[in-house]
């Protein structure tokens, strides 16, 4: 590629990235002012082009029925697209949908195990709610093997981030005898 073509390509990429960032900011502002139709109009093209944050936000709109017909199926589809790109917020939301029976899993799969896997992915990224939820799964053995040590590890991590329920659990748990 010659120098002029490189400069044009970099300039075009900057403009396109800037336009995407502006559209996402505008969509976020629309969501904050509860202008759902504008948020949907701005998020859809971004989500369809593979923008993970736009996919997650569009999923939230479908989940709550803001600006679109409420649809667990559409919410799950968009959450999963963003989750597969590594977006912790989407991984957490997808895990919640699965664990609460709002999203189907393939035949023969254990929904609790699928949810645990998504909570784990988000928890590894430091998502406090996912850490707490994963800890609860380890306490109950839902989708994972019961492990008080793993439960304490994940709930403790959430508590360190200020997660209120995790803090309450850590304060209330009995201290081991020495």
* Number of neighbours of residue 11 by Cβ within 10 angstroms: 10
Q: Find the domain containing 145 and state its range.
A: 86-178
If one counts the domains in the chain, the total is 2
Q: pTM of the prediction?
A: 0.84
How confident is the model over 49-73, as a mean pLDDT? 97
Answer yes or no: do 81 and 92 share one domain: no
Write down the pLDDT at residue 173: 84
How confident is the model over 77-102, as a mean pLDDT? 98
| Under 8 Å between Cβ of 38 and 30 | yes
At 153, list the tokens: 């590890």
Whose CA is closest to 78, among 35, 104, 48, 105?
Answer: 48
Give dist(CA 10, CA 132) in Å, integer.
43
Is the pLDDT score of 8 beyond 60?
A: no
| Under 8 Å between Cβ of 140 and 123 | no
Helices (H), 65-147: 72-84, 88-99, 111-124, 128-140
Q: Tell which of 85, 106, 129 closes a domain.
A: 85
Answer yes or no: do 46 and 130 share one domain: no
Answer yes or no: do 63 and 12 share one domain: yes
């Amino acid at each position: 590629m010659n120098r002029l073509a490189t400069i044009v390509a970099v300039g075009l990429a900057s403009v396109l990235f800037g336009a995407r960032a502006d559209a996402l900011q505008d969509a976020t502002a629309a969501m904050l002012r509860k202008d759902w139709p504008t948020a949907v109009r701005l998020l859809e093209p971004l989500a369809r082009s593979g923008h993970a944050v736009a996919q997650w936000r569009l999923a939230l709109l479908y989940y709550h029925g803001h600006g679109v017909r409420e649809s667990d199926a559409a919410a799950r589809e968009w959450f999963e697209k963003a989750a597969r790109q590594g977006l912790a917020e989407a991984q957490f939301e997808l895990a919640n949908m699965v664990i609460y029976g709002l999203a189907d899993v393939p035949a023969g799969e254990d929904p609790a195990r699928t949810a645990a896997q998504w909570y784990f992915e988000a928890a590894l990224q430091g998502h406090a709610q996912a850490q707490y939820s994963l800890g609860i799964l380890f306490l109950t053995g839902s989708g994972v093997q019961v492990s008080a040590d793993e439960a304490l590890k994940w709930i403790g991590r959430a508590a360190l981030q200020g997660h209120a329920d995790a803090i309450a659990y850590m304060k209330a748990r009995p201290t081991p005898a020495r």
